[in-house]
Chains A and B, each alone.
Chain A
Amino acid sequence: MTDEPTRSDRVFLALTTTAGLSVLALLGLVGLFLLLRSQDAFDVAGWSFFTRVEWRTDTSPPEIGVLGLVSGTVIVALIAVAIAVPLGTCTALYITDYATPRLRTTLTSLVDLLAAIPSLLYGIWGFLFLGSQIVPISRFLARHLGWIPIFATEEDATFTGSMLIAGTVVSLMVLPIIASVAREVFSQAPPGEKEAALALGGTRWGMVRRVVLPYGKGGIIGGSMLGLGRALGETIAVSLLLPQVPELTVRILENGGATVSGFIARRAGGNDFTVSGLMAAGLVLFCMTLATNMVASVVIARSRSGAGLDS
């Protein structure tokens, strides 16, 4: 609009641009430094770092690998997302298309509040309370559906500290993210089409199914990806809930399993080599979450396109 930048304009531009680019740089630096500090670990472990399940620093040379951690991370995150997506979608739908306006604001606040509660509190709640409530379910599933690989357990297995419990607790943290992204996209569903669906003799569910859900599909997918990213990086609750012993297993009912972030949190303050290994694990986690989040934001941005947001 203004043609000739004044001095204050130039300072303004320089400052804000620096700020913007510094965020850009910061993320690059995170990756770079994690890579630098993990050099020791990569030197010793080589490519087997990505294929080894165990993490032993007491042997010589140390045998460390991230596969057991990554598999645990992915399984827990998938359980969390599988629980959270239907509930989050229901919540979002209820807020946009079922609730009265007053209930709508209240529920939106409650969803935000759910997101604001520290994950530590979810963690101790799951650790000391919810976990023991899920145990009977696990026992029942193991006894009657044990022939399904993910429900298989050993004889006399302990059911506390299982990936199912961890996933359930993490799902509570992921829920508000999915719910709020989905709500935002659902609320942008074109009112004209919604009216048309109702005027044609559709029920509310018919309207939701034929107009709102197809329109909000991108929001559900994007929100789920974002939730997955959050679940992958969830640290404190998982470090409390799982034994954090790396292993390659799909048995989600019995005690066992480890996640990258939870493992890092447990091993904080170890010796130099351990730290280097943790940096390497952190780098893997960083890449995993970054990739998931990037894909999520692209999907969400695309599903919002035409909503009038710039760039």
Chain B
Amino acid sequence: MAVTDQAPPTPAPAPGPVPAHALTRPAEPRTPPPRVKRRPSELTRADLFTAGASAISALAGTWVVFARLTDGVGWFGFVVVAYLVFLVTFALVTTDRLGRLAGTDRVATVAVTSGALVLMVPLLWLVGYVVVKGLPALRLSFFTNDLSGIGATAKSTDGGGSHAIVGTLQQVGLALVFTVPLALACAVFLNETRSRFRRPVRIFVDAMSGLPSVVAGLFVFAVLIIPHADKQVLGWEVFGYNGLMASLALAMVMVPTVTRTVDVVLRLVPDGLRESGLALGASRAKVVWSVVLPTARSGITTAVVLGIARAVGETAPLLFTAFGLDLMNANPFDGPQDSLPLFVYKNVQKPAQASIDRGFAGALVLMVLVLVLFTIARIVGRDRSANARPSTVARLAGRIRSSRRRATDRSPSADRPLPTVRQEASRP
């Protein structure tokens, strides 16, 4: 606990002769004693003891009530009730010990903390559950085989989900092709223009991000699949159940997610950058293209990756679009296709235990995929704050200048706005 400061700097001696004074600190540099650094803690040992004792008595009391007097509520109900009893016990004891004011504060601290902890429990539990259930059935062959010839009696390690993985990759990839330009343009519209439609568009984007994904599937189904299912293009049923339709539905889910995140990221680009770009004579489009978007690049990447993570796990829209298939279909433009979520959804509902296990293997792959995407998004997003400042500004100013090289006249004055840029950008 006692951390001594390494060589605390001493003040420089005062210039000129200094007369001594009773209350004045000696002017000659005194060698300071090693100073003890401390941080008062709100939590005392008595608090911990009270909490521990309350917990034990709550557990005991709850156990007596449920195990002896009634016929039990299962472990889950036991935990919930014991926790509530604990909270009440703790409240009574601390209030008695510290008075109502401090007692309430302690109880609130315990309640808020445990509320936050409760959030983490299902997360860890869920991840653990999927890993435990999915790992035994996961073999390398899962990534190479499809479900052709797999009957109800097959072992859980037979067959695989390669067709589902291929389907997911194709559908999400195609969805990205639709999503990224539209979402970027939409976010730019919201941030970099002064259209009076910005407000309604923002509201609608918000509303759309809450659109149930099953409705997105229904919509694609209603607009394209029902009327045009039989039409053939290049011999393919482009508007039937297929990967392309799935990707459209996924895009509808992704666009608002990505737009909203990019919108927030663009808002973080300092106005000074835009203004300096414009001051250098660049057009608005040029400023957006070579200043705003590059500055926000890592933020945009994060947004897109998070959008992918969202789309990868979507199941409901695929029921009406990709439909699902147990065999490999590597052509997303013709015929039903499977995907990982569909694979999981269908298999865990089958009666055979082997199918359920296979479904969990798929769920594990899906979860790892999502976790990896999420981690990538975090890592990319983190260096946004790290590398954003002056170096970026200088680079951008250089970029604008080089883009104006056509204007030939590179008099020294062209460099003049740079200090302004730096100053303005460092302000926020």
Q: Identify whether the interface residues of A are mostly helix, strand, loop, or mixed.
A: helix
Stretch from A44-52, A57-65, A106-114 contacting the other chain: A106-114
Residue A71 at the chain B interface, CB threshold 8 Å: no
Question: Are the C-beta atoms of B219 and A23 separated by less than 8 Å?
Answer: no
- Distance in angstroms from B259 CB to nearest chain A CB is 7
Contact B70 A140 (CB under 8 A): yes
Q: Give every chain A residue within 8 A of B314 (Cβ-Cβ).
A: 118
Q: Looking at the complex, which of B113-121, B136-144, B394-402 is the stretch in contact with chain A?
A: B113-121
A12→B282 CA distance, assembly (Å): 13
Q: Does B367 sit at the interface, judged by CB under 8 A?
A: yes
Minimum distance in angstroms from B242 CB to a CB of chain A: 14
Known: A16-B192, A203-B104. A91 touches B75 (CB 8 A): no
State the Cβ distance, A231 to closest chain B Cβ, in Å. 10
The reply to whether the CB of A230 lies closer than 8 angstroms to some CB of chain B is: yes
Contacts of B186 in A (CB 8 A): 16, 19-20, 22-23
The answer for the CA separation of A253 and B180 in the assembled complex, in Å, is 45
Q: Are B315 and A282 in contact (CB under 8 A)?
A: no
Query: B123 to A98, Cβ gap below 8 A?
Result: no
Contact across chains for B126 and A90 when beta carbons are under 8 A apart: no
Chain B: CB-nearest residue to A4: B283
Query: Are A94 and B182 interface neighbours, CB within 8 A?
Result: no
Interface members, chain B 186-239 (any A CB < 8 Å): 186, 188-190, 192-193, 195, 197-208, 210-216, 218-219, 221-223, 226
Contact with B along A191-206 (1 / 0, CB 8 A): 0000000000001111
Partner of A133, one of B74, B211, B221: B74
Q: A87-B118, A230-B210 are in contact. Are A20 and B285 (CB under 8 A)?
A: no
A9 to B289: give the CA distance in the assembly, Å: 11
* 8 Å CB contact of A16 from B189, B216, B222: B189
The closest CB in chain B to the CB of A288 belongs to: B212
Q: How far is the CA of A91 from the CA of B341 in the complex (A)?
A: 29
Residue of B nearest to A129 (CB): B129
Please pick, from B190, B221, B283, B359, the residue contacting A2 in the complex, using a CB distance under 8 A. B283
Stretch touching chain A among B5-13, B22-30, B344-352, B410-418: B344-352
A72 to chain B, nearest CB (A): 15
Whether A20 pairs with B223 at a CB distance below 8 angstroms is: no
Q: Mark B271-292, 1 if CB is under 8 A from A, else 0.
A: 0000100100001111010000
Main secondary structure, interface of B, reads helix
- B113–A120 contact, CB under 8 A? no
**B34 in contact (CB, < 8 A):** no
Q: Which residues of B contact A16 (CB under 8 A)?
A: 185-186, 188-189, 192-193
B76 within 8 A of partner (CB) = yes
Asked whether any CB of chain B lies closer than 8 Å to the CB of A24, the reply is yes
A contact residues around B77 at 8 Å (CB): 136-137, 140
Known contacts A20-B189, A30-B215, A121-B126; is A179 also within 8 Å of B119 by CB? yes
Set of chain B residues within 8 Å of A140, measured between Cβ atoms: 70-74, 77
Partner of A124, one of B111, B206, B359: B359
Contacts of B288 in A (CB 8 A): 12
| Bound Cα distance A119, B120 (Å) | 16
Q: Are A261 and B316 in contact (CB under 8 A)?
A: yes
Is residue A8 within 8 Å, beta carbon to beta carbon, of the partner chain? yes
Residue A311 at the chain B interface, CB threshold 8 Å? yes
Q: Does B130 contact A (CB under 8 A)?
A: yes
- With a cutoff of 8 Å between Cβ atoms, the chain B residues found around residue A15 in the complex are 185
Does B109 have its Cβ within 8 Å of any Cβ on chain A?
A: yes
Interface residues of A in 139-173 (CB under 8 A from B): 139-140, 143-144, 172
B20 interface residue, CB < 8 Å from A? Answer: no
User: What separation, in Å, do the CA atoms of A13 and B44 have in the docked complex?
Assistant: 62
A235 touches B210 (CB 8 A): no
Q: Indicate with 1 or 0, residue by residue over A284-297, a CB within 8 angstroms of chain B CB atoms.
A: 01100110111011
Question: Which 8 pairs, one residue from A and one from B, show the smallest C-beta to C-beta distance?
Answer: A118-B313, A90-B115, A136-B74, A233-B212, A19-B185, A12-B285, A203-B105, A20-B189
6 contacts between A and B (CB under 8 A): A8-B286, A20-B197, A98-B116, A118-B315, A143-B71, A205-B105
